[in-house]
Amino acid sequence: MSKQEALIAMCKHGDPAAYTELYNQHALAVYNSIVRLVKHTAEAEDILQESFVAAFQGIADFAPDGAFRAWVKRIAINKSIDWIRKRKISFVELDPHLVHLSDKELTDETALQFTMETIAAAIDLLPDNYRTVFNLFAVENIPQAEIAQMLGLEHATVRTQYHRAKQKLLGILTQKKVV
């Protein structure tokens, strides 16, 4: 039995030290996922706490062969999306037939190199809806079909918003001329 599995078993028996240890091991990674979606620090911290409370309340249902961090991150992402919905960030349905991308609009991404700090700052400049879709797909590796379901959108809309976010991000990065 791994240390992680032992901690989860201890949590299932109500051991407060095990709760603390699991929280300390995973809180930063989970917080980083939240703050990419929710820019407000205080709100992100609240969502972090709510996510761990929900995870610990449901720990009895956690499959021992699963990855705890992935599980609690999913809870946190869902809570973040709920927060975004409450703020009424609009995810507009786009008619995929109206979207036409010419070769002139495409950028050769392989020729670009940026620091992680520059990219993170540029992502923060994206409109909320683009930033959310971009982070869920590109950073959290959630499939577009699942993002569509989470946000109540058509898959084509998520695909289009991701592409537009990526193009806008490339525009921000190349406009700054930062390499």
Q: What value does the mean pLDDT take over residues 120-133?
A: 90
Could you give the CA distance from residue 2 to residue 10 in angstroms, rounded to a whole number?
Answer: 12
Q: In sequence order, what are the residues at sequence separation of 6 or more whose Cβ sits closer than 8 angstroms to the Cβ of residue 10?
A: 17, 18
| C-alpha distances in Å from residue 135, one per residue of 81, 120, 128, 164, 169 | 12, 10, 10, 13, 12
Which pLDDT value is given to residue 28? 96
Q: Are 35 and 64 in contact (CB under 8 A)?
A: no
Distances (CA, A) of 173 to 102, 119, 179: 20, 7, 9
* 48-68: pLDDT as tens digits: 999 999 999 999 988 867 789
Residue 58 near residue 12 (C-beta atoms within 8 A): no
- Select the more confidently predicted residue: 169 or 112: 169
CATH topology of domain 3-86: Rna Polymerase Sigma Factor; Chain: A (1.10.1740)
Query: Which tokens in the block code for residue 138?
Result: 């590109």
Confidence of residue 88 (pLDDT cuts 50, 70, 90): low
Give span(s): CATH 1.10.10.10, the chain.
Answer: 103-176
High-pLDDT (> 70) share of the chain, %? 83
The correct CATH number of 103-176 out of 1.10.10.10, 3.20.20.80, 1.10.443.10, 3.20.20.140 is: 1.10.10.10
Residue of higher predicted confidence among 95 and 7: 7
CB 41 within 8 A of CB 31: no
What is the value of pTM for the model shown?
Answer: 0.72
Average pLDDT on 12-39 reads 94
Q: What per-residue confidence (pLDDT) applies to 61?
A: 87
Residue 61 near residue 67 (C-beta atoms within 8 A) = no
| pLDDT over 70 at 138, yes or no | yes
Q: Where in the chain is the domain with CATH 1.10.1740.10?
A: 3-86
How many helices and strands in the chain, by DSSP H and E?
A: 8, 0
